[in-house]
Structure 1
Amino acid sequence: MNEVTFEWRPFLERWSEEWADACDPEEEFPDETALRERWLGFTPASAARIAAAEERLGCRFPPSYRAFLEVSDGWRNAGGFVGLLAGTAQARWYEDEAGFGALYREDLGEDSSPEEIAEVGMWSRALQLDVESDATYILMDPQDVSGDGEWAVYCHKVWAAAPPKRYESFRAYMEAMYREFHCLRTHVYGDKEFVNATTRALDAVAEEAWRVALGGDYAQARTALLEPDAFGRPRAGTLLWQIQLMLGEAAYSRGGSHVSAAVQAQEFPPPPEAGASGDGTYGAHALLIGPFRRSKPFFRYTAPGPFGIAVEEAREQARWGDTDAAWRTIIAALPQWQPLANDHLTPFGLLEDSLLGPLVTAERKRELLAVPRGPEAVPGPGPVASALDPGGLAWLADRQAGGLAAGYRFVLVEGADPAELPGRIGADEEAVLHQPMTQWDVDNMRHSRGESSSYDDKPVVSVGRSAAGWSFAFDGEARGFDQERFVSPVGAASLGTRAVVVWSSRAEPSSPSVFHLSVAENGAEQYAFTAREAEIVRSGHIPPALNPDLFFAHAGSGEAWVSGERRALEAITAEFGVSLPRYALSSHCRLHRFRTRSWTRPPRSGETYTVVRWGDRAVHWRQGVADV
């Protein structure tokens, strides 16, 4: 900041003239002299008058305040909340008259920074510049000094219930107040539009930034929009909000941007039902309702033209688990996306689409911003869409990466459509395919049953398409494997085709690690093995490539077991050409679900079992011995 070359007179004249043009004498009560003279200031302070004030106060004014006084000895309407700013005669030491220093000192602790401690002392040593204000204090700190001798200015709005805002110098404060004047005038409701040379220049910057952003250079556009947004230009704020939303710098809120009606209708979900959210804010993956969490209402994003057609295609891919293909579809069609208005920059409604929103990771948001789009975009190959799925099955061995705390199990069926799987292995009374839902929805479904037992093991599984024409049913919360009670669904799943079942359970205090594989064709099991640490139980003719000795003969436990599990999964992938979509099976994504038949048989006579019932915020356990 160079205070020597800053021209105060043109700056203050422009401010005064714009203020006078914006005044409506019939509705407001401005200073008549200032309005008549089109000047918010006063006569310049002479060198002698400045020197006398400095002698009275026992200090030398910082450069920017001194330069200001040489042009105007005080100022009226400094922003929206200071009616009169001090000149040489009114400036005085504040000496913490209202006791704010003591109030903020109570908040200091052992971990307080030197800056926080020094700021508390500001109240008792600052120079007060506000003379008339709306409960607003303007204070210059003689001990918060920059290298060029500037004193920091603190603006404290009592009614704002927030710490004072710091400005590097008096000049920085005045420039901020000029911007505040613009912001307040821009958003005044009425017939008189606030337009002048400054607003036209700022709006021209926003127009160019819009075109630059549509061309894919969102970083340059973001930088260009900062100044028009600081002046409260509505279009600039809306465009900047869309970029910041994609960069994770802004919240997805209906009140967060003043977009046009057409954009509102397309890009925002309908308002939540009364009592469902309360603040109109979107972006959380679940709402806290009653004792359980539930997902937000389902939202289906739509757009006109070829891009809208691609969105529908991507949604079809995503709902069956092929999230990478869905994203490639969106990116390929993005150059054909068209803004609905000149305040429309991105299809940001995608972020809230119940199926596609979880696909738009932080990296993909930047990828989306970087694709040229809109009326001047030239369709082309564009950037290579980022992939989230590693392919194959080996990723399942990494519990942390897959989000699988205890274990997993799945059924793969060759040549079957995913919608067929409930008819093959669904619970008799619930053999229906539910609409795509999140894990939170599944948890609520589980709790809604009100009861579970150790012999009635009917998981709610995710359904989708695997590679090479297979479909899958997947449970990522499988617990301990009981060889004696296990009933593989592989036979029922394989009617008229082939099916594969895998169950992996990692060691817990009460049970060892287990890995099970069973393969069936046309209703008959062909082969199977169950590895339990060093013990392996097998049946049928197991292909050499799937021989469990290759993976678990010397696995034992720990890292050796994990390595064996990974190699077993790689072998299954190679043998059948199958894979599972890691990202689609994460907790953020929605997939179709259904409840399977029990994976364990009922207890035989003399065997123990446990039943858990819950309701009315209480959980009841009951143990018994079967009498069959």
Structure 2
Amino acid sequence: MTETTTFAWRPFLLTWSGEWVDSLPEDETRDEDASARQARWLGFPPASEERIAAMEERLGRRMPPSYREFLKVTDGWRHAGGFVWLLAGTRGADWHDDASGLGESFEEYLDEDAGPEERREVDIWRRGLQLDVESDATYVLMDPEDVDEDGEWAVYTWASWRAEPPERHANFLEFMRDMHREFHSLRAHGGDGEPVFVNDTTREQDARVAEARLETLGGGWERAVAALDDARSYGRPRAAGLGDQIRRLLGKTSMVYYEDLVTDPRYASDLLPPLVAEHAANSYGDDSTLKFHLRGADDDLVTLAYATLDQVRSGTYRYAPGGAFGEAVERARETARWGDTDGAWRTLRDAVPLWEPLGPDHLAPLGWVADPVLGPLLTPERGRELLSTPRGGQAGEVPDPTPDLDPGGLAWLAEPERGDNRRSYRFVLVEGVEPRELPGRLADGGSGLDEPMTLWEARSSSLRGKREFSSYDDEALVAVGRAGDGWSFAYDGAPAPFNRQRFVSPAARVGAATRAVVVWSGLGARHGEPFFHLSVARDGTERCAFTYAEGEVRRSGEIPETLDPDRFFGGSEGDAEVERRLLEAVAAEFGVHLPRHAIRGGRLHSFTTRSWTRPPGNGEGYMVIQMNAGAPLPADGEPAGDDGPVTE
């Protein structure tokens, strides 16, 4: 036998009835509910087997097991949740037959390729058995075609004022349990003049919340999150805020507001930043909604929220907890800002046992996910690792570390990005020079490093206010970081078109007391002829170079055997495979790598190099494009059309 046929309906309904009565103010009872209050029973007399059989004969269908068992205890029910005032028994239930016209209305918005789920939302109005008799514009229908292996019918509820699709409940028992939860959720946030809502159910749920909190701190978040979600459905205070901390570290941001906790001054320094960062990412300039999630906060906390919002938007927010964990956070940020995101994560992860909660309802460090440098370290796998690590003084088993995200080497550059997007790229590798020193080697005029940004943000920032573009110069906007033991890199992921006649390798201009390597690849680019350039310089003098373009190779100097272009070009391999092998050879020859995670998804310092092209010679022209004020600039950095005069 299944739970739906063995469930103890009467104790459950008696408990519900008593909780309902005890939650009512002295003067709050509808006339039709007076008898229910006096009897402490929201139900009615049980339905006999004969009455149930007569109902089934009238409807032409045998009722599902859980609804039949319910009817044997009470022939109907009052106050099923907060919006169904009377639920049908044997005489009140009837086929809806689209009496509301909602089936026709839903069908108007149905796509031609709608799947079974969307189709069911339409058909339920034509074939469903309607159980709501009196309600606040809320429908309750059982679907005789949505049947499980136990013969249970799914129950669908819908209210126009919720502006959501019909909600599915697996069977009638689950529907009634959900309505009991809804009743609790509404009463838990009662207003002035209402009795304190405390009973055996609330005490049981609060005890489960306390147990789940300790279990989460010990690393057992998977078991705890189910208990917290259940308590949340009952409206228990702080259960939502506790569960949201877990959800955020799993990479879930939708409907995560840290309810009841984010406005507590004890937790604001750690919970406000991720809330504000998500608002900044999705507010589209409307900041009024931020206050909605800060209901109950005092003026000081609201002021702090908007100050944090300014910092997040400007990229200046810094997560700075105290103690030994805070010291590790600083080390992790220093590591991450030069591209070693795997090393930064290891530093952060290893310090988690040292983290101290700000109060009893603080489950894990969260402010770091809003930090512009540390936030990109988070992945769902790493979030699970952090949550599985014992902390806050609790003991538990340490989880296995998650694998590193960066593959090492350079071959990953030959892989397409999202959407099978392949493009040109170029980079400079410099030995014996720190990343912060690269502007002094590769730029004119003492250019310094910009604050860490994504490549897209850096390009957008560099174009802001710029209205003139010239083919005279090819100044590269590069992200910088460490490329291995003793090496630094400057990477440009959206270079200008390659001009072999005017190209000047930056390698020879890096300066003395160092070695420099330049790679520029267009082998995998979607547009234009494939090309590849490699040059190596030492102490400001180019030692060797080769360029593959237009199907031929031009070389100079003594090229190492491992990099000899004859080993790569002229065979039957495709461009992508040739590019991969070339990059593997460069990585092996110089012992270097580029950090994929930091380049594609993180934030790095950047600056603009001197031109990668020589000045035009006698008789060579160049083009200047001047754009009108207000003309849009695309994200890829190229001017949108020729909205201004062209000068040669």
TM-score normalised by length of structure 1: 0.86
Indicate the residue corresponding to 2:517 in structure 1: 500
Q: Per-residue deviation at 1:591?
A: 0.5
Would the aligned equivalents of 2:242 and 2:258 in 1 still touch at CA under 8 Å? Answer: no
- Counterpart Cα distance in 2 of 1:107 and 1:578: 56
Residue 604 of structure 1 corresponds to which residue in structure 2?
617
Per the TM alignment, residue 10 of structure 1 is displaced from its structure 2 partner at its CA by 0.7
Counterpart amino acid of 1:383? D
Alpha-carbon separation, structure 2, partners of 1:404 and 1:223: 40
Matching residue of 1:617? 631
Q: Which residue of 1 aligns with 2:18?
A: 17
CA contact (8 A) 1:413 1:500 kept: yes
Q: Measure the CA separation in 2 of the matches of 1:14 and 1:66.
A: 20
1:585 pairs with 2:599? yes
Paired AA for residue 35 in structure 1: R
User: Which residue in 1 is equivalent to 2:408?
Assistant: 391
Q: State whether residues 406 and 479 of structure 1, in contact with CA within 8 Å, keep that contact through their aligned partners in structure 2.
A: no
- CA deviation after TM superposition for structure 1 residue 112, in Å: 3.9
1:201-280 correspondence to structure 2 within 5 Å: 201-251=204-254, 253-254=256-257, 258-259=261-262, 260-269=264-273, 271=276, 276-278=285-287, 279-280=289-290
Query: Structure 2 vs 1, CA of residues 266 and 606 (structure 1 numbering), >3 Å: closer, same or farther?
Result: same
Correspondence 1:471-486 to 2 at 5 A: 471-486=488-503
How much identity, in percent, do the aligned residues show? 50
User: Could you tell me how far apart the structure 1 residues matched to 2:402 and 2:195 are?
Assistant: 48
CA contact (8 A) 2:238 2:260 kept: no
Gaps of 5+ in 2: 292-311, 633-640
Distance in 1 (alpha carbons) for counterparts of 2:61 and 2:535: 88
> Is residue 129 of structure 2 the alignment partner of residue 111 of structure 1?
no
Equivalent residues of 1:364, 1:386 under 8 A apart: no
Q: CA deviation at 1:534?
A: 5.0
Aligned counterparts of 1:613 and 1:407: Cα–Cα separation in 2: 26
The number of residue pairs the alignment matches comes to 606
- Pick which of 53-62 and 392-401 moved more: 53-62
Question: Match of 1:421?
Answer: 438
Q: Does 1:375 align with 2:379?
A: no
SS of residue matched to 2:485: helix
Could you tell me which residue of structure 1 aligns to residue 305 of structure 2?
none
Measure how far apart 1:496 and its partner are. Answer: 3.3
Q: Secondary structure of the equivalent of 2:627?
A: strand
The answer (yes or no) to whether the contact 1:84–1:133 under 8 Å persists in 2 is yes
Find the counterpart in structure 1 of residue 504 from structure 2. 487
CA 1:64 to 1:460, structure 2 compared with 1: closer, same or farther past 3 Å?
same
- Tell whether 2:455 aligns with 1:435: no
| Partner deviation per Cα, 1:6-33 (whole Å, 9 max, x = no partner) | 2221111100111122222256768333
Contact 1:183 1:232 in 2 (8 A): yes
Equivalent residue in structure 1 for 2:566, among 530, 534, 549: 549
Q: 1:597 to 1:346 in 2, by over 3 A?
A: same
Letter in 2 for 1:267: L
How has the CA–CA distance of structure 1 residues 301 and 254 changed in structure 2, closer, same or farther, with 3 Å as cutoff?
Answer: farther
Taking a change above 3 Å as real, the CA distance of residues 325 and 144 of structure 1, as seen in their structure-2 partners, is: closer
State how far apart, in whole Å, the 1-side matches of 2:620 and 2:58 are.
97
Which residue identity lines up with residue 359 of structure 1 in the other structure?
L
In 1, Cα distance between the equivalents of 2:52 and 2:555?
A: 98
Q: CA deviation at 1:124?
A: 4.1
Quote the Cα distance in structure 2 between the aligned partners of 1:53 and 1:543: 90
Q: Is the 8 A contact 2:270 2:366 kept in 1?
A: no
Query: Aligned AA for 1:133?
Result: S
Q: Would the alpha carbon gap of residues 52 and 297 (structure 1) be closer, same or farther in structure 2, given more than 3 Å must change?
A: same
Cα separation, partners in 2 of 1:575 and 1:17, compared to 1, 3 Å: same
Match of 1:82 in 2: 84
Q: Is the 8 A contact 1:82 1:133 kept in 2?
A: yes
Structure 1 residue 100, shift from structure 2 partner: 1.6
TM-score (norm. length: structure 2): 0.84
Aligned to 2:380: 362
1:169 paired to 2:171? yes
Within-5 A mapping of 1:449-464:
449-464=466-481
The Cα RMSD (Å) is 3.2
CA distance in 2, matches of 1:151, 1:507: 56
Task: Work out the CA distance in 2 between the residues paired with 1:523 and 1:355.
Answer: 34
Tell me by how many angstroms 1:472 deviates. Answer: 1.5
Correspondence 1:530 to 2:547:
yes
- The alpha-carbon distance between structure 1 residues 222 and 481, as it changes in their structure 2 partners (threshold 3 A), is same
Cα deviations by residue, 1:372-399 (Å, 9 ceiling, x for unpaired): 222124797x533421222222333335
Give the distance between the partners of 1:421 and 1:394, measured in 2 at CA. Answer: 24
Letter in structure 1 aligned against 2:626: R
Q: CA deviation at 1:564?
A: 4.1
The 1:354/1:158 distance shift into structure 2, 3 A limit, reads: same
Equivalent residue, structure 1, for 2:155:
153
CA contact (8 A) 1:608 1:623 kept: no
The one-character-per-residue Cα deviations of 1:426-448 (angstroms, maximum 9, x if unpaired) are: 143x7121111112222213422
Shifted more, 267-276 versus 155-164: the winner is 267-276
**Distance change >3 Å, CA 92–CA 251, structure 1 → 2:** closer
Asked if the contact 2:389/2:396 (under 8 Å) is kept, the reply is no
Q: Aligned partners of 1:432, 1:297: CA distance in 2, in Å? A: 18
Q: Which residue in the other structure is 1:573 paired with?
A: 587
Give a deviation string over 1:135-164, Cα, whole Å, max 9, x none: 112233445444444443332213223333
For each residue in 1:306-332, what CA deviation from the matched residue of structure 2 results, as whole angstroms up to 9, or x when unmatched?
Answer: 222111111111111111110111111
Cα deviation per residue 1:575-623 (whole Å; 9 max; x = unaligned)? 332222121111x211101111111122122113222333422642655
Which amino acid in structure 2 is aligned with residue 459 of structure 1?
A
CA distance in 2, matches of 1:18, 1:316: 56
Q: Equivalent residue for 2:607?
A: 594
CA contact (8 A) 1:404 1:477 kept: no
The AA in structure 2 aligned to 1:370 is: S
